[in-house]
């Protein structure tokens, strides 16, 4: 990070300071800088990136769990608006398999694999084809107050098809709480997945973070944990151990809404919904597994090869990413969950002799807020502008009415910056108007004074003339 160029105790006030240097914060800093704002970014870690950063381990590049970039999502379009187009390749899905109970079959990628698949009954296949034709034209907002379960119950009476759709929703949203989650978010994700689909980003998501960091010249980047935020008239002061930082506007992009609530005294956690979590296992393999993708559709288990599309493994090796979706209140311990994931790998032809590297992370927060049907779905999440708190904004994967996962972080970061820019333009306009009014009043006063002066002189002149005339006569 750039080191402090200014006095560390009280830095110059900027137009916008951003707390948190994950994707939301980095995107906001880039957008705000490009819009001509003076910007400060405060990140507590020495390396920014948050959950989008990748680690290097025994020659493998490991994202924080399996990450896929939605080609029609807000993250990609925001990156492109900044001139960043992350290289990536679609996952190899051909030959992908799924299980429902003990039944195993091909995952359907299109009519061909659908006909061959033994995963679904004939009637379910017919229903699935009809549904796939309908999905692109459906309006997600119509489903905002339905849970995923309610939507699937209305969609099909076939239990095997419900499990398949359940598995696809898990895959697209990371969310297995189908009795709580709103169907609008699920449908939007499915529409994108079935549309242009996803890519696995070459060299890991850290490539996106690096591209965003490389554009930060002019932004005051500070390493420090913000422990207090003091709101003053027309400005805010962020307090870190190292010093204080003042700005006209502050964007909290700290990930967890609980951190925002603590620093701002708000209660955004409730509106954000419960966090969506997962346990992840990365396996370095000597040889490829039986299928490139393998999903236990009714048990919420995921397996996919990320290295072939994204180049995340050393030559001759394969990186498999596994995940177990966790619903709120899931208290499975680490040994059980890891054992279930290893059994899932074994079900896909991977024995312990095939594994050269493993990394298990027990409980990662994928999204800090689940859109809930009971709260009206995506529209029920907190807005980027904090209500009743001028100058304060939030961004993250639990904010705003657009997108899920990193797309929500990108959409809310863009919306927050747009709001700051619009507010600044409004203030400038008001100041300009006030200045013009002042000048007009001043001109008016000057004019009146001149007229009064002229009148005064005219008034006095005849008397002078009269007296001059009197003398000459
Ligand atoms: C297992 C897993 C799989 C995922 N898969 C996908 C996927 O396939 N597709 C997708 O789009 N998304 C996916 N995501 C989600 C995606 O990674 C996140 O939505 C995104 O990275 C969140 O970015 P953010 O900036 O909002 O939050 P974060 O990345 O959490 O960033 C917050 C930052 O704020 C900093 N911070 C916190 N408190 C303070 C403080 N007091 N002072 C200063 N700094 C502070 C933190 O250090 C952090 O850097 C996945 C996530 C996980 C965990």
Ligand 1 contact, 292 CB (< 6 A): no
Q: Kindly state whether residues 190 and 239 are assigned to the same domain.
A: no
Q: What percent of the chain has pLDDT over 90?
A: 85
Residue located nearest, by CA, to atom 30 of ligand 1: 255
Spacing, Cα 313 to ligand 1 middle (Å): 23
In short, whether 282's Cβ falls inside 6 Å of ligand 1 is: no
Residue 300 has a CB neighbour count (10 Å cut-off) of 22
Residues 183 and 103 grouped into a single domain? yes
Q: How far is the CA of 457 from the centre of ligand 1 (A)?
A: 76
- If one counts every other C-beta atom within 10 angstroms of the C-beta of residue 111, the result is 11
Q: Is the beta carbon of 20 within 6 A of some atom in ligand 1?
A: yes
What is the bridge-based pairing of β-strands 392-394 and 244-252?
parallel
Mean pLDDT of 185-190: 96
The best mutation among 44, 51, 381 to test binding of ligand 1, ranked by most ligand atoms within 8 Å of the C-beta, falls on 51
- Please state, for a pLDDT cut of 70, what percent of the chain lies above it: 95
Q: Report the pLDDT averaged over residues 228-244.
A: 93
| Vertex 283: Cα angle to 280 and 287 (nearest 5) | 150
Q: Are 384 and 412 in contact (CB under 8 A)?
A: yes
Last residue of a domain, one of 156, 184, 199: 199
Pocket lining: 384 vs ligand 1, CB cutoff 6 Å: no
Residues 207, 86: contact at Cβ < 8 Å?
yes
Q: Is 22 in the pocket of ligand 1 (CB under 6 A)?
A: yes
Residues 209 and 194 in one domain: no
Q: Where are the beta strands (DSSP E) in 176-300?
A: 198-201, 220-223, 226-232, 235-240, 244-252, 276-285, 293-296
Ligand 1: atom nearest CA of 23 is: 25
Which of 1, 17, 20 to mutate for ligand 1's pocket (most ligand atoms within 8 Å of CB)? 20
**Residue 258 falls within a domain, yes or no?**
yes
Shared domain check, 191 and 218:
no
pLDDT digits (tens, 9 = 90+) for 140-155: 999 999 999 999 999 9
Contacts of 472 (CB under 8 A, 6+ apart): none
Alpha helices in 17-88 (DSSP H): 23-34, 74-81
Indicate whether 249 and 171 sit together in one domain.
Answer: no
375 and 473 fall within a common domain: yes
Residues 44 and 135 in one domain: no
Long-range contacts of range 176-179, CB-CB < 8 Å, 24 or more positions apart?
176/300, 176/325, 176/326, 176/327, 177/274, 177/276, 177/327, 177/328, 177/370, 178/147, 178/148, 178/149, 178/152, 179/147, 179/148, 179/149
The sheet with strand 318-326 has its strands ordered as: 103-106, 97-100, 293-296, 301-305, 318-326, 276-285, 355-367
Residue 225: inside a domain, yes or no? yes
**Total number of domains in the chain:** 2
- CB-count exposure of residue 450 (10 Å: 0-12, 13-18, 19+): exposed
Asked whether residue 282 is domain-assigned, the answer is no
Question: Which of 96, 29, 28 is CA-nearest to residue 415?
Answer: 28
For residue 354, tell me if it sits in a domain.
no
Could you say which of 199, 227, 250 is where a domain stops?
A: 199
In this structure, the answer to whether residues 209 and 191 fall within a common structural domain is: no
- Quick check: is 381 in a domain? yes
Q: Is the CB of 79 under 6 A from ligand 1?
A: no
Which domain-ending residue is among 172, 199, 226?
199
- Measured in Å, residue 50 CA sits from the centre of ligand 1 at 5
Contact (CB, 8 A) for 361 and 279: yes
- Cα 91 off chain centre by: 22
- pLDDT higher than 60, residue 467: no
For residue 227, give both structure tokens.
């422990």
Q: What is the mean pLDDT of the chain?
A: 93
If you average pLDDT over residues 251-257, what whole number do you get? 98
Give the span between the Cα atoms of 322 and 304, in whole angstroms: 7
DSSP labels for 271-305? Answer: HH-PPEEEEEEEEEESS--SSSEEEETTTTEEEEE
- Region 304-311: mean pLDDT is 92
Whether residue 465 is predicted with pLDDT greater than 70 in this model: the reply is no
Q: In which domain, by residue range, is 32 found?
A: 1-50+205-272+370-473
Q: Model confidence over 66-110: pLDDT tens digits?
A: 999 999 999 999 999 999 999 999 998 889 999 999 999 999 777
Rounded Cα gap, residues 288 and 317, in angstroms? 8
| Mutational test site, ligand 1, from 169, 255, 302, 371, max ligand atoms within 8 Å of CB | 255
Residue 395 CA: which ligand 1 atom is closest? Answer: 26
């Amino acid at each position: 990070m750039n080191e402090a160029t200014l006095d560390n105790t009280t830095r110059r006030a900027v137009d916008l300071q951003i707390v948190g240097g994950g994707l939301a914060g980095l995107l906001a800093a880039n957008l705000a800088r490009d819009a001509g704002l003076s910007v400060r970014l405060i990140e507590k870690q020495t390396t920014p990136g948050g959950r989008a950063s990748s680690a290097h381990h025994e020659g493998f590049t490991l994202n924080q769990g399996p990450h896929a970039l939605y080609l029609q999502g807000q993250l990609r379009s925001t990156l492109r608006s900044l001139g960043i187009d992350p290289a990536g390749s679609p996952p190899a899905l051909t030959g992908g398999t799924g299980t429902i109970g003990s039944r195993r079959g091909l995952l359907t990628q299109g009519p061909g694999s659908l006909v061959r698949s033994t995963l679904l009954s004939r009637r379910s296949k017919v229903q699935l084809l009809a549904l796939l034709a309908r999905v692109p034209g459906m309006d997600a907002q119509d489903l905002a107050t339905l849970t995923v379960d309610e939507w699937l119950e209305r969609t099909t009476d076939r239990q095997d098809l419900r499990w398949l759709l359940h598995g696809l929703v898990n895959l697209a949203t990371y969310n297995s709480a189908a009795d709580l989650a709103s169907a609008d978010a699920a449908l939007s994700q499915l529409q994108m997945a079935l549309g242009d689909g996803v890519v696995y980003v070459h060299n890991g998501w850290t490539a996106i973070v690096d591209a965003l960091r490389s554009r930060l010249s002019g932004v005051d980047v500070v390493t420090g944990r913000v422990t207090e935020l003091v709101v003053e008239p027309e400005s805010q002061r962020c307090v870190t151990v190292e010093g204080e930082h003042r700005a006209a506007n502050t964007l909290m992009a700290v990930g967890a809404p609980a951190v925002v609530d603590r620093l701002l005294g708000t209660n955004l956690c409730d509106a954000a919904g419960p966090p969506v979590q997962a346990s992840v296992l990365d396996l370095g393999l000597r040889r490829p597994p039986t299928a490139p993708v393998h999903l236990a559709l009714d048990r919420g288990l995921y397996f996919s090869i990320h290295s072939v599309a994204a180049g995340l493994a050393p030559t001759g090796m394969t990186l498999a990413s596994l995940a177990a979706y966790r619903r709120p209140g899931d208290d499975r311990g680490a040994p059980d969950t890891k054992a279930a994931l290893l059994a899932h790998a074994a079900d896909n032809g991977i024995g312990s002799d095939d594994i050269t590297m493993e990394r298990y992370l027990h409980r990662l927060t994928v999204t800090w807020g689940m859109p809930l049907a009971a709260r009206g779905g995506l529209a029920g999440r907190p807005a980027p502008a904090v209500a009743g708190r001028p100058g304060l904004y939030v961004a993250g994967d639990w904010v705003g009415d657009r997108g899920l996962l990193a797309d929500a972080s990108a959409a809310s970061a863009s919306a927050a910056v747009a709001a700051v820019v619009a507010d600044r333009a409004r203030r400038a306009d008001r100041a300009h108007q006030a200045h013009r009014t002042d000048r007009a009043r001043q001109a008016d006063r000057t004019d009146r004074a001149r007229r009064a002066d002229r009148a005064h002189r005219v008034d006095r002149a005849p008397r002078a003339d009269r007296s001059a005339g009197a003398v000459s006569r």
